[in-house]
Amino acid sequence: MLSRQVTRWFTLALVVMMAAALAPAVGVSHAAGGVLAYGDVVNGKINNAAYFEAWEFEGSKGDHVEILMEGDGQLDPYLGVIEAASEQVLAEDDDSAGNSNAYIEMTLPSSGAFVIVATRYNLDAGTSQGSYTLSLAGGGNTTTTTSTVSNTSPSEPEEIDEGIWYMGDASMTEAMSGSIENDAFAQLYSVELEAGSEFVAAMFADGSSLDPYLILMNEEGDVLAEDDDSGADIEGAGKSDALIYVVVPDSGLYFIAATRAGVAQGKTTGAYALIAGIPEASQEDPIDEPEPVSNEELPPGVEVMGMIEVGQTGQGTIGNDSFFHLYAFEGQAGQQITITMRGTGGLDAYLGVLDPNDEVIAEDDDSGGGTDAQISLHLPESGVYVIVASRNGMDQGMSEGDYTLEVVEGTPEAPEGQTGIGGFGGLPGRAVQVEEGQTLYLRGTGASEDPAKNSPVEQFVQGSTLPGRLNPIDA
């Protein structure tokens, strides 16, 4: 049985960005672009003949990178980051920098080569054209320092690397406080956690102009979660505070890095407050369990199918009365998961995946070959993921039929005639040929708050009266 947190985070009030129409890929022999290093700023141009440019850089596991793509006012920039060795899409973004500019801030999961795809909103099907400026900043590696931390909590904070301080054991009962400065831009707290426990941490600017940023990592330096703006804007300064939630995958020592947006390259400084803990209901002050939500309470066409285990196969029927099926599975950070939806009777299968923070991290129409859908992805964090099994066109779609849904570990082969791994092959219009014989794939679902860019599924969800919490166990 899953805990109360699963129920709380299994939500249908989602921002589900799925592309509804896919156009044929533009034939490009290879991408323009070049090689970048941290600190570089380059210029490029996007037009209908060359709708993307690929830039490669070398990074180390744990490097904190910032990538900013600014257009000239005519171009609507779009960014993607791909791990070259695995061809995994690590991040995509559309408008996070404001004014239709794209921005990605992340911690690198491995060492090696990475590809930045600079393109435009809607990729080959987009209409904007123009020049752009691309900047890459990197450094501030907080993960490589975890091995140097002693097993005992220091009586005073100690600097373990330039600008990185070990503060000692995290308090799970009281708020912690500190100040982020240019010579102390990252402050690490250690905490022992048990496998399966639900861990929450929040970082707030404490009367300062600090833009808080949180990172949770294990003793080996693997990042389980990181966040900039998911928390509430406590100070009311227009900058949201940082919030992370994870289901702990293994018992052991973990580190919370309290830092700022940009980490070493960041500009903001100031006081902060940090709280951390494992939420649980005490016998003296019990927390009411949410009432299970039955499918009868959902909008027409939406159905909760329940939990599906990795290695298990589910099945269902898509029709005009039931076309939006929701499954949940528990995944661990670093797992390679492949989800395949195969339809019969003429069903044009469509898949989407949302992470534990209800952010869309993948969507697909035909990557499984024919009209079957397939997604293969490297899970970014531990927790409960939601699978959307539907049909092309969703509520406006015409196809009907039975389907099987398979969730397995590992990476599939690409469909016949496609290069790269399965799950990103066969996405017309999302293909990016970075060099002769090597094709990478973007999902085209990066963050945007522009309602004009809502997909049909997003419009369907926002236009419905949906419950905020669904119970996958009792559905």
The b/e string for 441-461 (b: 16+ C-beta within 10 A; e otherwise) is bbbbbbbbeeeebbbbbbebb
Dmax (CA) for the chain in angstroms is 68
pLDDT 10s digit of each residue in the chain, 475 long? 223 332 332 222 222 222 222 222 223 334 578 999 999 999 999 999 888 898 999 999 888 899 999 999 999 999 988 888 877 778 888 888 888 999 998 888 889 999 998 999 878 778 999 999 999 998 766 665 555 565 556 678 898 888 899 999 999 989 999 999 999 999 999 999 999 888 999 999 988 889 999 999 988 888 888 888 777 655 554 456 889 988 888 999 999 999 998 888 888 999 999 999 987 643 344 434 444 455 566 778 888 898 999 999 999 999 999 999 999 999 887 687 889 999 999 999 998 887 777 767 777 887 788 899 888 777 767 788 889 899 988 888 899 999 999 999 987 765 555 544 444 333 334 555 666 556 665 655 556 666 666 554 445 445 544 343 343 333 3
Distances (CA, A) of 459 to 103, 394, 452: 24, 11, 10
Domain 4-17+296-412+448-462 falls under CATH 3.40.50.1980: no
| C-alpha span between 334 and 224 (Å, rounded) | 9
Q: Do 331 and 2 form a contact (C-beta atoms < 8 A)?
A: no
| C-alpha span between 15 and 156 (Å, rounded) | 44
| C-alpha span between 308 and 1 (Å, rounded) | 12
At 100-155, the pLDDT tens digits run: 999 998 888 889 999 998 999 878 778 999 999 999 998 766 665 555 565 556 67
Closest CA to 102 of 32, 44, 141, 56: 44
**Torsional sign, CA 446, 395, 353, 230:** positive
Q: What does the pLDDT read at residue 58?
A: 94
Domain 32-139 falls under CATH 3.40.50.2300: no
Do the first three CATH levels of 4-17+296-412+448-462 and 146-277 match, i.e. the same topology? yes
Q: What does the pLDDT read at residue 374?
A: 85
* Two tokens, residue 158: 């100690």
* Two tokens, residue 434: 């970075």
Distances (CA, A) of 99 to 72, 74, 138, 306, 448: 10, 11, 23, 40, 11
Sequence ranges of the domains in the chain = 4-17+296-412+448-462, 32-139, 146-277
User: Reading across the β-sheet that carries 360-364, which strands appear in turn?
Assistant: 301-307, 322-331, 383-391, 349-354, 360-364
Give the chain's end-to-end CA distance (angstroms, integer): 13
Q: What does the pLDDT read at residue 280?
A: 64
Fold designation for 146-277: Jelly Rolls (2.60.120)
Q: Which amino acid is at 305?
A: M
Q: What does the pLDDT read at residue 262?
A: 84
- Rounded to two decimals, the pTM is 0.61
Please give the distance of CA 140 from its chain centroid, rounded to a whole number.
21
Q: What does the pLDDT read at residue 226?
A: 87
